[in-house]
Amino acid sequence: MSAGMSAAAGAAPGAAPGTATGTATGSGRVGDSPRRVGGHDRVTGLQRYVADLHLPDELHARLVTVPVARARIVTIDASAAERVPGFRFVMTAADLPQPMPRFGPQFRDRPVIAVGETKYHGDPVAAVAADTRDAAEEAAGLVRVDYEELPAAFTVAAALDPAAPLVQDPSLRPNDPLVGTNVLREHRVGWGDVEAAVADLVVEQRYTFPMVTHFAIEPHAYIVAPDGDGIAVWSSIQHPNWLQKVLAELLRLPLSKVRVHSPDPGGGFGGKQHTKYEPLVAFMALRAGRPVRLVLTLEETFQAVRRAAAEVRVRTGFQSDGTLAFQDIEANYLIGAYADIADRVVGKGSYPGCGPYRVPAARILARSVLSHTVPSTAFRGFGNPQVNWAVESNLDEGARALGIDRLELRLRNLARPGEAFIPFDTPCDGQWEQSVRRAAELIGWGRPLPAGHGLGIAVGIKSGPTTGLSYATVRLLVDGSVIVFAGTSDMGQGARTVFAQIAADELGAPLDAVTVVMGDTAIVPYDQQTSASRSTVLMGNAVLAACREIQGKLRAMAARLHGLDEATVMVDRGVVRLPERELTILEVLVPGLGRLGGELIGNGEMRKDAEPDHPLGGSAAFFEFNCTAVEAAVDEETGDVTLVHYATVSDVGKAINPLQVRMQDEGAAIQGLGHTLMEHYIFDESGRIRNLGAIDYRIPTSLDLPLEIVSEHVENEDGPGPYGSKGMSEGALLCVASAVGAAVRDATGVAIRDLPLTPERVWRALQERP
Amino acid sequence: MHPFSYERPATLARAVALLEAHGPEARVLAGGTDLIIRLRDGSLAPTVVVDLKRIAELEPGIREADGRLVIGATTVMTDIAADARIRRRFEALAEAAAVVGSVQIRNRATLGGNICNASPAADTAPALLVHGAVVVIAGPSGSRRIPIDGWFVRSGVTTLGRGELVTAIELPLPAAPMGSVHLRRTRRRGHDLASVTLCCGVDASGVTRLAYGSVGPRPVLAVDATGVLADRDAAPEARTGLLERMLAEATPSARSMRASPDYRLAMLRVLARRGVDIATARLAAAEGRR
Amino acid sequence: MSGRIPIQVTVNGRARAFEVAAHHTLLEVLRDDLQLTGTKECCLVGECGACTVRLDGRIVDSCLVLAVEADGGEVTTVEGLASDGRLSRLQGAFLDEGAVQCGFCIPGQIVAADDLLRRVARPTVGEIQEGLAGNLCRCACYGQITAAVAAAAAAEAGAR
Site from A132, A638, A758 to mutate, B interface, most B CB atoms within 10 angstroms: A638
B113 CA: distance to closest CA in chain A (Å): 19
Domains of chain C listed by start with CATH number: 4-81 (3.10.20.30), 89-159 (1.10.150.120)
Size of interface B-C (CB pairs under 8 A): 84
Q: Do B188 and A682 touch (CB under 8 A)?
A: no
Q: Do A23 and C129 touch (CB under 8 A)?
A: no
Buried b (16+ CB within 10 A) or exposed e, C63-80: bbbbbbbbbebbbbbbbb
The chain C residue lying nearest A706, using CA atoms, is C143
Residue C3 has pLDDT above 80, yes or no: no
Q: Do C82 and A44 touch (CB under 8 A)?
A: yes
CA distances for A56 relative to A128, A224, A292, C5, C21, angstroms: 19, 12, 10, 25, 22
Q: What is the pLDDT of residues A567-612, one digit of tens each?
A: 999 999 889 999 999 999 999 999 999 999 999 999 999 999 999 9
For the question of an ipTM over 0.95, the answer is: yes
CA quadruple B251, B254, B259, B262: dihedral sign? positive
Nearest by CB to residue A666, choosing from C102, C106, C140, is C140
Q: Do C46 and B36 touch (CB under 8 A)?
A: yes
Candidates A45, B94, A184; CA nearest to C88 is A45
The chain A residue lying nearest C35, using CA atoms, is A52
E runs forming strands in A173-217: 183-191, 201-209
DSSP A409-474: HHHHHBPPTT--SSTTSPPP-S-HHHHHHHHHHHHTTT----TTEEEEEEEEEEE--SSEEEEEEE
C107 touching chain B per CB within 8 A: no
Domain boundaries, given as residue ranges, for chain A: 5-30+305-465+615-767, 50-150+220-295, 468-608
Beta bridge partners of A448: none
The span from the CA of B67 to the CA of A25, in Å, is: 61
What strand order describes the sheet that includes A623-635? A453-463, A623-635, A640-651, A709-714
Candidates C23, B232, B121, B235; CA nearest to A132 is C23
pLDDT of residue B236: 86
pLDDT of residue A20: 43
Contact B124/B96 with Cβ under 8 angstroms? yes
Instruction: Count other Cβ atoms within 10 Å, centred on residue A579.
Output: 10
Q: Do B4 and C61 touch (CB under 8 A)?
A: no
Amino acid at C130: E
Backbone angles phi and psi of B93, in degrees to 5: -70, -40
Contact A382/A341 with Cβ under 8 angstroms? no
pLDDT of residue C1: 59
Backbone angles phi and psi of A228, in degrees to 5: 60, -125
Candidates A240, A217, A219, A264; CA nearest to A42 is A264
- Please determine whether the domains at A5-30+305-465+615-767 and A50-150+220-295 fall in the same fold group of CATH: no
Candidates B109, B235, C50; CA nearest to A52 is C50
Over its C-alpha atoms, chain B yields an Rg (Å, rounded) of 19
- In chain C, the percentage of residues whose pLDDT exceeds 70 is 99
Nearest by CB to residue A217, choosing from C37, C42, C130, is C42
Contact A89/A287 with Cβ under 8 angstroms? yes
* A585-593 vs A538-562: helix crossing angle, rounded to 10: 70
CA distances for C40 relative to A49, A385, A501, B106, angstroms: 9, 31, 30, 20
Those residues whose C-beta lies under 8 Å from the C-beta of residue A169, and which sit 6 or more positions away, are A109
Amino acid at A424: F
Return the DSSP state at A65: -
The span from the CA of A479 to the CA of A620, in Å, is: 41
Using an 8 Å CB-CB cutoff, list chain A residues near C140.
666-671, 700
DSSP A633-667: EEETTTTEEEEEEEEEEEE-S--SSHHHHHHHHHH
Contact A627/A458 with Cβ under 8 angstroms? yes
Whole-model pTM: value is 0.96
What is residue A258's three-state secondary structure? strand
The span from the CA of A726 to the CA of A537, in Å, is: 6
Instruction: Count other Cβ atoms within 10 Å, centred on residue A208.
Output: 18
A21 CA: distance to closest CA in chain C (Å): 9
Q: Which residues does chain A have with pLDDT short of 70?
A: 1-22
Instruction: Count other Cβ atoms within 10 Å, centred on residue C88.
Output: 18
Those residues whose C-beta lies under 8 Å from the C-beta of residue A346, and which sit 6 or more positions away, are A185, A187, A308, A331, A333, A335, A366, A367, A368, A383
CATH number of A5-30+305-465+615-767: 3.30.365.10
C69 touching chain B per CB within 8 A: yes
Domain boundaries A50-150+220-295, CATH class: alpha beta
Q: Do A763 and B263 touch (CB under 8 A)?
A: yes
The chain B residue lying nearest C3, using CA atoms, is B5
Number of H helices, E strands in chain A: 18, 28
pLDDT of residue B175: 85
For the purposes of burial, counting CB atoms within 10 Å of the CB of C83, is it exposed (0-12), middle (13-18) or buried (19 or more)? exposed
**Measured CA angle at A584 (ends A579, A590), to 5 deg:** 110
B216 CA: distance to closest CA in chain C (Å): 25
The span from the CA of A212 to the CA of A682, in Å, is: 10
CA distances for B162 relative to A174, A724, B24, B169, angstroms: 65, 74, 8, 19
pLDDT of residue A14: 31
Using an 8 Å CB-CB cutoff, list chain A residues near B190.
698, 700-704
Return the DSSP state at B40: H
Q: What is the pLDDT of residues B218-265, one digit of tens each?
A: 999 999 999 999 888 888 888 889 999 999 999 999 988 999 999 999
The CATH classification of domain A468-608, taken from the options 3.30.110.30, 3.30.365.10, 3.40.50.12240, 3.40.50.360: 3.30.365.10
The span from the CA of C130 to the CA of C118, in Å, is: 15
The chain B residue lying nearest A140, using CA atoms, is B1
Those residues whose C-beta lies under 8 Å from the C-beta of residue A187, and which sit 6 or more positions away, are A346, A347, A350, A351, A364, A365, A366, A367, A368, A615
pLDDT of residue A21: 46
Beta bridge partners of A439: none
Q: Do B190 and A703 touch (CB under 8 A)?
A: yes
The span from the CA of A592 to the CA of A476, in Å, is: 13
| Alpha carbon B279 to chain centroid, angstroms | 18
Number of H helices, E strands in chain C: 5, 5
DSSP C3-38: SEEEEEEEETTEEEEEEEETT-BHHHIIIIIS--TT
C158 CA: distance to closest CA in chain B (Å): 27
C64 touching chain B per CB within 8 A: yes
pLDDT of residue B234: 87
Site from C26, C48, C60 to mutate, B interface, most B CB atoms within 10 angstroms: C60
Candidates A271, A614, A311; CA nearest to A463 is A614
CA distances for A465 relative to A116, A421, A498, A535, A672, angstroms: 38, 18, 18, 10, 21
